[in-house]
Chains A and B, each alone.
Chain A
Amino acid sequence: MTMSHRERVQKALNHEETDRVPIDFGGGPATQIHPTAYSNLLGHLGFAEENLPTSHRGEGQVVAPSEKILRHFDVDVRGFYTLEPDSSQGRPIAENKYIDEWGVTWEKSGTLHPYINVLGPLQHISVPVITDIDSIRWPVPDDSGRIRGLRDRIEAVRTQTDYAVVLNLPNGTFALTQRVRGFVETLEDLLLNKAFIEALHERVTDVICGIAVLALTEVGDLIDGVSFGDDMGTQSQSYMGIDLYKELVKPHHVRFVDVLHKHTDAKVIIHSDGSVRELLPDFIDCGIEVINPVQVSATGMEPGQLNREFGKDLSFWGGIDTQHVLPWGDENDVTEAVAGRRKDLGKGGGYVQASVHNIQSEVPPENVVAMFETALGRR
């Protein structure tokens, strides 16, 4: 008997084998698709143009695929997000430039390319002190605008469909700290200005815990997964050594994940790009249950090895390479990658397939189709 979509995802997250590997497309901020690639996909499938709104969601130039496409590929997951709060200071400041609710400036080069964060409100201070933290405007965690209509929208999916639901919370402690303070500045502060960065981490964690409590009090009973993004890896190693992570970041991950577990039975998913293998034991220790995106091209992220070492404690969500296979490979390469991940990450259960990051503009539609059709056993 075929499993329901929700059952399939739940089983995978419980490390049980399923009838096929569950699929995510568009369920999170990093499993979406560039508007050009999406338009090409629609054309390739013979579907009409959809003119969906693009979201920049802090990064993207992405669209979330329509229900029509999601059903065409029998995608198992539907993702939801908290909204911009009413009290947000976020606003556009020029063409291709805006400030977000944390006071961080984002910019992009031209219409096709993603936004990146270019300036944080505490970045200009060469040696900041703890009192500088109060000098900037902080988001209001319990602003009800964040959850307006959220319960109704998720309940509709719950009652009218059998899809699994993931709530995507905003980013984690380190990601937000480095946006507010500057990436290079934060990494230097970890060694040169510990008292300040500790206090900044604490303040950021206060805010994201407040947002999490608000959101999960509202919908925590309805969801299967709750996700937050905190990139901790480069292509070749983690951002910081393990001792520094344990000292200055882990306590905040522990605190935040604890809040999540107290307010929902959903599985806790971390989105953490890059080479993060050396941090995985500590992620598990924090109470994280699912690792996304499993950037297989990064050092130490060989999927079979990860499953052997961590597969009993972690489920894997992602795995289809976006740096080489999807953009530059052909359909056979994509089919091989999907079959490979099914075999190595999926062995013993515990794998949800998704692209490692948003599908970029140059990815051929044939490759997108191959990714899903192989997963569905249609080729």
Chain B
Amino acid sequence: MTAFEELTDMIINGQHTAASEWTQTAIDEGFNPIEVMDKGMIPGMDEIGRRWKDGEIHMPEVLIAARAMKVCMAILQPLIGESNAIARGTIVIGTVKGDLHDIGKNIVAMMLEGAGYRVHDLGNDVSAEAFVNAAEEYDADIVGMSALLTTTVPMMESTIQALKDAEIRSQVKVMIGGAPVSDELAKQIGADGYAPDGAVAVDLTSNLISI
């Protein structure tokens, strides 16, 4: 096992204390923080995503892996800094106005961070205007919207319209998710894609950004 594979294993097994200590030691010994992230952490979350998609693991395993990833990122992020960040892309994500459900959206945000994307989580009950402002402020590649209520799904269409009105629709890709949403609905409202869960969201993000 290479040195980085030790960290990957700790991430996969959700050993956040051990992963955090390994990361700090690595930094103290002069390891490149970007390498630690790229070779140690991201493979861990990639493997978690694969296992989750294949139904081999469930939410508890995904969540503790994401937590392990998060504590390591807290050590690395200040060292990587804005100029050196190998951000694969920038995403603004939130639950639409009127909807307070956020667990699914939070898991998607965690998986995307674990995959090396810069994620700005706007929280829940997010207005169309707030999505547009954030997309502009953070120069987002992707706007991700979540809704759990059939009642709040129309807010997704409103947000897409708001992006058009602000003349930035062509600069971002729109990704939607949530139990009452579907591929068909995504096409209907003019979104660029739909993801049923966090693992698929990571794949979709990669595809959308590379278009």
Contacts and interface: CB of A to CB of B under 8 A. Distances in A.
Q: Do A and B bind each other?
A: yes
Interface stretch (A75-83, A182-190, A366-374): A182-190
Contact of B150 (A191, A240, A323): A323
A235 interface: yes
B63 A188 contact: yes
A70 to B, nearest CB: 24
A296 to B, nearest CB: 13
A109 B125 contact: yes
Interface string A106-122: 01111011101010000
Contacts of B196: 235-236
B39 to A, nearest CB: 26
A282 to B, nearest CB: 15
B100 A107 contact: yes
B67 A324 contact: no
Interface string B157-191: 00000000000000000000001101001000000
A108 B100 contact: yes
Contact of B179 (A112, A190, A235): A235
Given A239-B59, A324-B182, A362-B151, A113 B64 contact: no
Contacts of A241: 57-58, 60-61
A184 B100 contact: no
B149 A234 contact: no
A240 B59 contact: yes
B159 to A, nearest CB: 16
Interface in A283-330: 322-324, 327-328
Contacts of A361: 151
Contacts of A244: 58, 60
A237 interface: yes
B151 A237 contact: no
A239 B107 CA distance: 13
A360 B99 CA distance: 13
Nearest to B97: A109
Nearest to A300: B55
B150 A362 contact: yes
B14 interface: yes
B60 A187 contact: yes
Given A108-B100, A113-B99, A323-B179, A360 B150 contact: yes
A237 B58 contact: yes
Given A234-B59, A361-B151, A362-B150, A327 B99 contact: no
A240 B98 contact: no
B98 A191 contact: no
B60 A183 contact: no
17 contacts: A107-B100, A110-B98, A112-B151, A113-B98, A113-B151, A116-B100, A192-B14, A235-B197, A238-B58, A239-B59, A240-B60, A241-B61, A244-B58, A323-B179, A323-B180, A362-B150, A362-B151
In order of increasing CB-CB distance, the 10 nearest A-B pairs are A327-B150, A187-B60, A323-B180, A109-B125, A190-B60, A241-B58, A116-B100, A235-B179, A191-B60, A360-B150
Interface of B: 14, 55, 57-61, 63-64, 67, 97-101, 103, 106, 124-125, 149-152, 179-180, 182, 185, 196-197
